[in-house]
Amino acid sequence: MNRFLATMALFGALACCAAQQANVRWINVDCPDCNYQRDYAACQYDVGMNLTPTPVPNAGILTRGLAIIDNATKPQRMIDACMAAKGWTPVQVDANQANKAVAPIGCAGWDEAIAAYNRGDYAKAYKELKELAEQGHANAQYELGYMYVMGQGVRQDYDEAVKWFRKAAEQGNAWGQGALGMMYHYGHGVPQDYAEAEKWLRRAAEQGHAEAQTILKSWSTTEIPLEKRGGVYQLPLMVNRVLMLKFILDTGAAEVNIPADVASTLLRTGTITQSDFLPGKSYILADGSEVRSSRFIIRELDIGGIKISQVPASIGSANGSLLLGQSFLGRLGSWSLDNNRHVLMIGSSPAQPK
């Protein structure tokens, strides 16, 4: 199994559906004509995910998902709280009315599909899931996409997988979001796009999706907020553990550049000393003082807790700007800019997972 399929296998198939609370209808005063069934199914899913954080033994390929929570008091309270958060209020009805209710979209046909999947009857599972997915069942949409990825019961087709993952993801389904993120990450069924990969994985992780959280953590990206002024990005760095200064991010500069007046201040305050200057031709600072050369060593630059030591820097004109150049940036390892969110991402980026 290649790296992509091995990663997708961690997402796995879901398990079985929870029963709906008996003799209860739900109303939403803000939307009296709305159908509660989809929200109820989503709450069942969320609660089941919280109750089943680890793979279910002997149930197929890393099967995880909804716990069987029929007649369980605590899970039902959790579902009720979830529904209340979505604006729904429970109303008791008599048994005859309850029996006339349409089965929640989260359950009808779902258990049959997953049972077929777990016994290896992928053709039947596909048939049941396709029908549910076309009705808008987010769990089934994710599951159908997963089967297209793995080539189970159907020809492997990444384009179709992306289609169904996206439908699930856009309904807020954490598994669909995580899977869509991985499709973007590997460039399967969509153009490779690390920003989109991270976006969808973060949405999944924010819902408690364990695999998405693990993948994002493995990338270990540190994000530094950027301030945009006059068409350039500025960011704060701590110089020699003493002084915080704002630098302009300049990928075209060979070295960190310090204006002469700032260098005078650093020297006067003892932030840098004569011993920090590199050999070379003597240089006159803005205040008239003379230093050994126009280049010196910054003993430490700290950006968001990431510390780089012994950074070469050059002294520039007094009316120049503090520039963060390649003598620092080149030592960060992997880094990238997110121009949409205005952040500098440092570390193992989505482009280079560990």
Which residue has better confidence, 39 or 88? 88
Q: Provide the pLDDT for residue 238.
A: 95
What type of residue sits at position 251? Answer: T
pLDDT band at 7 (very low <50, low <70, confident <90, very high): low
In angstroms, the Cα distances linking 64 to 15, 50, 117, 269, 273 are: 6, 11, 13, 61, 61
Q: Span 213-230, mean pLDDT? A: 83
pLDDT score of 128 more than 80? yes
Decide: 259 and 322 in contact? Cβ < 8 Å.
Answer: yes
Decide: 221 and 199 in contact? Cβ < 8 Å.
Answer: no
Q: Span 154-173, mean pLDDT? A: 94
pLDDT score of 32 more than 50? yes
Which residue has better confidence, 63 or 267? 267
Q: Span 265-290, mean pLDDT? A: 85
- Over its C-alpha atoms, the chain yields an Rg (Å, rounded) of 28
Which residue has better confidence, 280 or 99? 280
In the chain, where the domains are located: 3-218, 225-346
pLDDT score of 65 more than 90? no
Query: What CATH number has the domain spanning 225-346?
Result: 2.40.70.10
Fold designation for 3-218: 1.25.40
Report the C-alpha gap between 174 and 163 in whole angstroms.
Answer: 15
Find the angle CA(343)-CA(172)-CA(51) to the nearest 5 degrees.
105
pLDDT score of 22 more than 50? no
Q: Provide the pLDDT for residue 67.
A: 29
Residue whose C-alpha is closest to residue 258's, from 306, 220, 295, 217: 295
pLDDT band at 283 (very low <50, low <70, confident <90, very high): confident
Percent of the chain whose predicted confidence (pLDDT) is above 70: 71
Q: Span 294-300, mean pLDDT? A: 93
DSSP string for 42-98: HHHHHHHHHH--SPPTTSSTT-------TT-HHHHHHHHHHHHHTT-EEEE--HHHH
pLDDT band at 169 (very low <50, low <70, confident <90, very high): very high
What type of residue sits at position 354? Answer: K
Q: Span 165-177, mean pLDDT? A: 92
User: By three-state DSSP, how is residue 156 classified?
Assistant: coil
